[in-house]
Amino acid sequence: MTPTTETMVGIGGAAESTDMVLNIGPQHPSTHGVLRLKLVLDGERIVRAEPVIGYMHRGAEKLFEARDYRQIIVLANRHDWLSAFSNELGVVLAVERMLGMEVPERAVWLRTLLAELNRVLNHLMFLGSYPLELGGITPIFYAFTEREKLQHVMEEVSGGRMHYMFNRVGGLKEDLPAGWTGRARAAVAEVRSHMDRIDDLVLGNEIFRGRTRGVGALSPEAVHAYGVSGPIGRASGVDFDLRRDEPYLAYGELGDVLKVVTREEGDCLARFECLLEQTHNSLDLADACLDRLAELPPGPVNQRLPKVLKAPEGHTYAWTENPLGINGYYLVSKGEKTPYRLKLRSASYNNIQALTELLPGTLVADMVAILGSMFFVVGDIDK
The full DSSP string for 56-68 is T---HHHHHTTS-
Average pLDDT over residues 334-363: 94
Q: Please report which confidence band the pLDDT of residue 16 belongs to, taking 50, 70 and 90 as the band edges.
A: low
Q: What is the pLDDT of residue 68?
A: 93
Average pLDDT over residues 356-367: 92
The one-character DSSP state at 364 is H
Q: What is the pLDDT of residue 77?
A: 87
pLDDT digits (tens, 9 = 90+) for 151-203: 999 999 999 988 999 999 999 999 999 999 999 999 999 999 999 988 889 99
Average pLDDT over residues 309-327: 95
Distance (Å, rounded) from C-alpha 13 to C-alpha 157?
Answer: 60
Q: What is the pLDDT of residue 5?
A: 58
pLDDT digits (tens, 9 = 90+) for 19-40: 788 888 787 666 767 889 999 9
Q: What is the pLDDT of residue 63?
A: 92
Q: Please report which confidence band the pLDDT of residue 234 belongs to, taking 50, 70 and 90 as the band edges.
A: very high
Q: What is the pLDDT of residue 322?
A: 96
Q: What is the pLDDT of residue 3?
A: 59
Q: Please report which confidence band the pLDDT of residue 4 belongs to, taking 50, 70 and 90 as the band edges.
A: low
What amino acid is encoded at 205 in this protein?
A: N
For residue 331, give Cα distances in angstroms to 224, 334, 337, 342. 25, 10, 13, 5
pTM, to two decimals = 0.91
Q: What is the pLDDT of residue 352?
A: 93
Strand (E) or helix (H) holding 342: strand 341-345
Distance (Å, rounded) from C-alpha 301 to C-alpha 195?
Answer: 32
